[in-house]
Structure formats: structure tokens, C-alpha cells
Chains A and B, each alone.
Chain A
Amino acid sequence: MGFFLETLLGGLMTGMLYSLIALGFVLIFKASGVFNFAQGSMVLFAALAMARLAEWIPPWTGISNKLLVNLFAFGIALVIMIAVAWLVERLVLGKLVNQEGVTLLMATLGVAYFLDGFGQTLFGSDIYKIDVGMPKEPVIVLDKVFEGGVLVSQEELIAALVAAALVGLLALFFQKTSTGRALRAVADDHQAAQSIGIALKHIWVIVWSVAGFVAIVAGIIWGSKLGVQFSLSLVALKALPVVILGGLTSVPGAIVGGLIIGVGEKLSEIYLGPHLGGGIEIWFAYVLALVFLLARPQGLFGEKIIDRV
């Protein structure tokens, strides 16, 4: 029982981290109807900026307090991501108002390649580390209840809590504010949104900035887990099945989807692995996504697709 709980918890926490990246996809899709291929690259770019700035700030300014350095680095990284958002609107999306979704999708693919290359040119292409002082050693909880207790990684627990808080905030933003409503409106119909006086430009800059912010948080958490390197942009691939499962238009969907996949891959690895030969963790998410595409293409929480014929 203790072992099962441990696996379950580990899965939930990994799942929350998938959700965090998936959230970036959902945000931009909800607000502009674009599937943003550059989300993974934004995570890498933000993490690179964060890692390198934290390295550069002490010699530049003489500040040596680690917390202060990290805060500064975070602030500057945020400004950089907002600048990226502004440039994306200015140079790419702004030129493509009222175009087909596929056109916008291809444009984000271009943005992805650019960010990958530019980020590494600017910040270097070695492996860097982000150290925000996350506790690394696992703790044992519930040792009164089970023999041996349950081993929990503090780092993952904190990451999961941060992700959960972020998700709550974004859900409020989308559902309760007029800006959130305007974002949803823009995603549905550019022309109609313009006609009621919603400024497309501002909306896009806002939403890409928010996605940039999510990318920094995801970049810090994943970066301090895995180290900041090119492969970080591939973590985003794990978020694809999450959004398919949860539905591209749903913030809660991104969370639940992430949790299901996190838990599912851990449990199946442990309990099915011995029978099927292991390595399930690698493909589990994609097979599940495939099943969902066949059975329920809008995902668990996505808007039902209605077609009039």
C-alpha cells in the first residue's frame, strides 16, 4: 500500500509539471486559436535566460545574495519574455489577422526554430544549471500509518504546489475578468472581436506575455530538475498528449490531463511493466492520446465540436 501511494504521488507531481507546460499551449490556443508550436522553445529560451542571468548578475553588480540574484534574474527574464511576446505580435501574428489556423500554426513553427537558434546564440549552448534553492532530499511522510512510510521528493512537491497556484490564478483570470472574456472572444472570431472594440494587438501581446511567464516558471522547475539544455524544448512534446487528453480549450483540462498522464505512466510502468517488458513510461502518454483522438477528439473538457451539414 505504501509503495502504491508513493508511485501515485510521484505520478501526480510529475503530472502537475506536464500540466504546467500544457497550460502554455492552452493559453495561446484559447486566446488566438493558434496551436503554438513554439511553446517548448519558449520554455528553453526562458530557462536559458534565467540560468545565464543568474550567472552574470553577481560579477556585474556585485550582488551575492542568492535570493536577490534569482529575483533579479527572474525579473529580467520576464521582461525578455514580454519583449518576445511583443515582437511576435509585431512581426508575425499582426501580419496574419483573419488568416487560416494552419497559416498561424506554420508561423509559430518558424518562431520555434528562431527562438531555439537565437536563444543558444545569445546565451550559449552548454548545459547550465538553475539553482533557486529547491530542497533536493526527499522526505518520508506517513511513517506512522504504514511501515516505512511514503517517500516524497520535496522538490517535486514544491513544484507541484507552484503549478497548482498558477493554474488557479489563470482560471480566475480567464473566467472572471473582462480581459479573459475578450481573450476567448478573439480566439473564436477575429473580425467580430474587432467590431466590438477589442484591440487585437493588445490581447495578443498580453496572452503571449502570460504564456511567456508560464514558460519561465516551467523552465525554472524543469531546468532545476534536468539542467538547462536543448533537450528542455523537447519536454514540450510530453505536453502534447496532455492537451489532447484534456482538450485544447480547457485550463482545468490541462491539469486533469497532466495528472492522468503522470499517474498513468508511473503506475503502468510499475504494474504492467514486468508483463509487457518495460519502457511503458516512454510511450504510454502517446498511446493514450491516440485512443482519445479516436474516441473523443475534443478531449475530456474541450468544447464539443458541432458541425452543421
Chain B
Amino acid sequence: MSRRTVGDVILAVEDISLAFGGVKALNGISFDVREHEVRAIIGPNGAGKSSLLNCINGVYSPQHGRIRFRGQSFAQMNPRRAAVMGIARTFQNLALFKGMSVLDNIMTGRSLRMRCNVLLQALHIGPAQKEELEHRAAVEKIIDFLEIQAYRKTQVGRLPYGLQKRVDLGRALAMEPTLLLLDEPMAGMNLEEKQDMCRFILDVNDEFGTTIVLIEHDMGVVMDISDRVVVLDYGRKIGDGTPDDVRNDSDVIDAYLGATH
């Protein structure tokens, strides 16, 4: 399993609780993520996995608890600060810019890194041209990496689902994130597409050293690629450890297969 060295804790979720009206989506969840690690969050549907991700990314504000990221502690994140601090994400139900080309979609991921002012960019002169070329080169690298060269100029809405998922990943990678949040990257894919996606995830982790937190409910996939796994059920944490630990944990087995009393 030792593809690279796992470092110190980079993200810590501390005693997070989130409720929508009377529905408790998350209930006192704590876990940590180490640098360069692939950390999975699993659980049955409705367990609170996406809610947890949305708290880390700042889309939801938890009523209780704190999030510590790269040494700074927050009661709540907001999406922009998360992005500025180096957290990128993909979405469970694709949230691509459908009217734009693959290239433009991935380019938007560079937004935060663009420094030149609008006037220079519009006229395409001086430093703006150099900057555009640099960003374009970075984006081309990602396109090569994800093997979507052939679709560069295609409008994203026209691509098949599996490829759209790759573009979604590409846009997140363009941000050169420290922490990458993947919300069910394999959902709705066939076996071959799943294998491709697994390979991409592992390669990202390996080549760029990106820390990855991923949500999945396909146990098989998760166990193969993650270093440590958190298991949620009805908003509570019921397991946390290496894939092997989790697989043999009786609470986890109950949650997935139903308890026999």
C-alpha cells in the first residue's frame, strides 16, 4: 500500500453536528485526514456522507463543531475560502458548465490563479498573453492526464456521462488543490469506467501528492483504493480504520447487511 509517505494531519473534523429543522443529518462526527492520504467516507444512502463533504467545503454551516484545515480552525467554512485555501471538489450529480467546451470548463478551474486585469486579457497583450499560455499549458497537461484530448472543443453537455465525470475531476485538478473532495466519483458508471476512474484517482494521489477524501457506497471499490475508511450510518460515525478493520467490524456489517437480533 505504500505508494507514498502519509504525513501529518491536514484536515480535522471535530465533533460536527448538522441538522435541517428536526432532521439530524450529522451527529457529533469527528475524524482526521492525513497529508497524501486517500480517505474514504462510506455508508448507506442517507447516512450523511454528502452533508459531511458539504460542511468541509463550506456549502453547509454545521450548528456545532469545528473544522481544522492546515493549522487554521473554523466554526464554518465558506466555499470561496475553501477554494482559496486549496480545497477542490467534484459533485455527485454533475455540476458542470454545460454550455461551455471541455477546455473552457477546465480553464475555469484556474480562475483563482489568474492575476492579469480584464483590460489586458481582453486585448490579449503583454503579461496577459503569457499568463493565458501558462494556464493553457497546465490545462493541456490535465487533459492529457485524463485522456480526453479528443473532446477538447466539445460542448460538455454533449459528452457521455462517464466522460463528464472526468471533466468534473479535471476542473477540480486545474485548481491544483491540496485537498480533493470527491463526491461519489464512481456513481452510475459501468465496470470499465469505474476501473478508469480508480486509476485516475490513484494517479492523482501518486503523482501530485494530492490528499483525497472520497465518498462512495460501492464497498468493493473503496476497500481497494483507500488508506483509511470512515463509516457513517444515520448521521453517526460507526467505524473508522483501515479497510480490513472496517470490513470485519460487526457494527459496519450490521449497518450494511442488516442486524439480526
Could you tell me which A residues sit within 8 Å of B by CB distance?
A: 169, 172-173, 176-179, 181-182, 184-185, 187-189, 191-199, 249, 303, 306
* Further 5 A-B residue pairs, CB within 8 A, beyond A176-B124, A195-B88, A197-B111: A169-B122, A188-B98, A191-B79, A196-B175, A303-B157
Do residues A188 and B96 form an inter-chain contact, with CB atoms below 8 A? Answer: yes
The answer to whether B88 and A196 touch across the interface, beta carbons within 8 angstroms, is: yes
| Contact partners of B155 in chain A: CB under 8 A | 303
Among residues 40 to 94 in chain B, which have CB atoms less than 8 Å away from a CB atom of chain A?
57, 59, 79-80, 82-84, 88-89, 91
A-contacting residues, B100-138, CB 8 Å: 100, 104, 107-112, 114, 118, 121-124
Asked if A196 and B108 make an inter-chain contact with CB atoms under 8 angstroms apart, the answer reads: yes
The interface on chain B, measured as residues whose beta carbon lies within 8 A of the other chain's beta carbons, has a size of 35
- Given that A181-B107, A195-B88 are contacting pairs, would A189 and B175 also be in contact in the complex, using a CB cutoff of 8 Å? no
Residues of A within 8 A of B99 (CB): 184, 187-188, 249, 303
Say whether A197 contacts B157, CB under 8 Å.
Answer: no
Cβ–Cβ contact B96 & A189, under 8 A: yes
Is the contact region of chain B dominated by helix, strand, or loop, or is it mixed?
A: helix
Chain A neighbourhood of B122, CB < 8 A:
169, 172-173, 176-177
Query: Are A195 and B100 within 8 A (Cβ)?
Result: no
Q: Which residue of B lies closest to A191 (CB)?
A: B95
Given A179-B118, A195-B83, check contact A185 B97 (CB 8 Å): yes
Q: Are B111 and A196 in contact (CB under 8 A)?
A: yes
B39 at the interface (CB under 8 A from A): no
Q: Determine the chain A residues whose CB is within 8 A of the CB of B121 once the complex forms.
A: 176-179
- Smallest CB–CB gap between A291 and chain B, Å? 24
Whether A194 lies near B100 (C-beta < 8 A) is no
Whether the pair B157, A194 counts as a contact (CB closer than 8 A) is no
**Quick one: given A188-B96, A194-B79, are A306 and B118 in contact (CB under 8 Å)?**
no
Whole-angstrom distance from the CB of A1 to the nearest CB of chain B?
A: 41
| Contacts A/B (CB < 8 Å), 30 sampled | A172-B122, A177-B118, A178-B107, A178-B114, A181-B108, A184-B100, A184-B104, A185-B100, A185-B108, A185-B111, A188-B100, A191-B59, A191-B91, A192-B96, A192-B97, A194-B59, A194-B80, A194-B83, A195-B59, A195-B91, A196-B83, A196-B112, A196-B171, A196-B172, A197-B79, A197-B112, A198-B80, A198-B108, A303-B155, A306-B158
Please determine whether B97 and A189 come into contact, CB atoms closer than 8 angstroms.
yes
- The residue in chain A whose Cβ has the minimal distance to the Cβ of B135 is A178
Contacts of A196 in B (CB 8 A): 83, 88, 108-109, 111-112, 171-172, 175
